[in-house]
């Protein structure tokens, strides 16, 4: 039995008692929402459990500020700015309309307070002040946002500002918003806690987080609301129950209550009828392949990323894993080169594939090793 089969057998065995008691739960039709676009995505596997118009370009309103925060967090992580930095508030930031933190022109405000104002209070003024501190101007910061979007592979996103105020060339999509949310939670776990804070007081004014799911569902810990006349009422949410995290995106609803109830119905549906499992870790040797003409004979193969799957509840024992390897692999071999794939199926239906990559580099062997392998290959 190869390493891959052994590992999945152990994995199945470890949960066999629990699963023997858990009957398969039929998955009903997903909720249908009166929204322009929406989705439900598992955080770990990136599997879409519910989707409707997920690639349609729409106005993202203040959900834009998820990317604004991402770029600020990256500047913090790189050491370019600090949370205790005092930002001189410009007249442009002070004059911003819409939701505000009520910062004052020519006053100095700490980066940490501006982040709270942008995330909890959805302050447009705080967003612009942060952008000017990081990049010198809002337009330069928007270029940084677009560079990050491109790096994340967000194909239907373009930013013209940091706030989400209407602009004909400022757009995103439900899929891109979910992928952005996933990236923020993954890349900046130490910063993510701000999205669960229910209220923030600045300059003597207390404002409450507009994400009312924080009060309705204790498993919800983010993310961001949005509203403009063009965009309608929108909400990107994330919740974690036990080890499973889901991300929901609901765009273009007719009111603040609708975006909350629709998001709750998506999250409840996902947690009730699906489960997510980690099958293999990145860098784990799943099998070995014979290397010809190499310094050594065996090449360990594994995955570049953790392999997660999201499946209907009670279907874990129906999983089967298999591998396809290249027939002949010749040295030299470079670390990370793909030489096959792992496939995971449930009831004979393929649900996930990932490349099997070389877990180490192997140079060519010496003259004797190459000669012996040439003869062996000829005999085969």
Residues of the chain falling short of pLDDT 70: 1-24, 365, 368-377, 379
Catalytic residue of the set 7, 37, 90, 122: 122
Q: How distant is the alpha carbon of residue 150 from its chain centre?
A: 15
pLDDT at 184: 98
Catalytic residue of the set 45, 62, 90, 99: 62
For residue 5, count other CB atoms closer than 10 A to its CB: 15
CATH 2.60.410.10 given to domain 3-17+281-379:
yes
pLDDT at 28: 92
Catalytic residue of the set 7, 36, 65, 172: 65
Over residues 197-223, the pLDDT tens digits come to 999 999 999 999 999 999 999 999 999
pLDDT at 16: 40
Mark whether 62 is an active-site residue: yes
pLDDT at 15: 42
What is the Cα–Cα distance from 108 to 218, expressed in whole angstroms? 35
Mark whether 122 is an active-site residue: yes
pLDDT at 370: 66
CATH number for region 37-274? 3.40.710.10
Q: Where are the domains of the chain?
A: 3-17+281-379, 37-274
141 is written with which tokens? 């910061």
């Amino acid at each position: 039995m190869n390493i891959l089969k052994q590992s999945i057998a152990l994995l199945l065995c470890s949960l066999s008692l629990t699963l023997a008691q858990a009957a398969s739960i039929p998955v009903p039709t997903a909720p249908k929402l009166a929204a322009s676009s929406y989705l439900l995505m598992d955080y770990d596997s990136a599997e879409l459990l519910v989707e409707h118009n997920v690639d349609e370009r729409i106005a993202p309103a203040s959900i834009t500020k998820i990317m604004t925060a991402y770029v600020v967090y990256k500047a913090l992580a790189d050491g370019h700015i600090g949370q205790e930095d005092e930002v001189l508030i410009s007249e442009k930031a002070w004059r911003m309309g819409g939701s505000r933190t009520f910062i004052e022109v020519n006053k100095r405000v700490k980066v940490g307070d501006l982040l709270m104002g942008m995330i909890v209070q959805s302050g447009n003024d705080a967003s612009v002040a942060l952008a000017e501190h990081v990049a010198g101007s809002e337009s330069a910061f928007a270029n940084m946002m677009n560079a990050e979007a491109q790096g994340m592979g967000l194909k239907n996103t373009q930013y013209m500002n940091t706030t989400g105020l209407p602009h004909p060339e400022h757009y995103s999509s439900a899929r891109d918003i979910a992928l952005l949310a996933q990236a923020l939670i993954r890349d900046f776990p130490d910063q993510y806690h701000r999205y669960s804070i229910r209220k923030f007081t600045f300059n003597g004014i207390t404002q409450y987080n507009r994400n009312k799911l924080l009060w309705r569902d204790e498993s919800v810990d983010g993310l961001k609301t949005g509203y403009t006349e063009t965009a309608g009422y929108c909400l990107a949410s994330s919740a974690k129950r036990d080890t499973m995290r889901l991300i929901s995106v609901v765009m273009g609803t007719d009111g603040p209550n609708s975006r909350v109830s629709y998001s709750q119905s998506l999250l409840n549906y996902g947690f009730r009828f699906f489960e997510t499992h980690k099958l293999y870790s990145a860098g784990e040797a799943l099998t070995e392949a014979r290397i010809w003409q190499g310094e050594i004979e065996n090449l360990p193969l594994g995955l570049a990323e953790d392999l997660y799957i999201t499946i209907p509840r009670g279907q874990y024992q129906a999983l089967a894993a298999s591998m396809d390897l290249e027939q002949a692999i010749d040295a030299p071999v470079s670390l990370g080169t793909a030489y096959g794939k792992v496939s995971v199926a449930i009831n004979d239906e393929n649900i996930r594939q990932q490349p099997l990559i070389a877990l180490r580099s192997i140079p060519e062997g010496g003259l004797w090793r190459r000669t012996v392998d040439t003869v062996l290959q000829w005999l085969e």
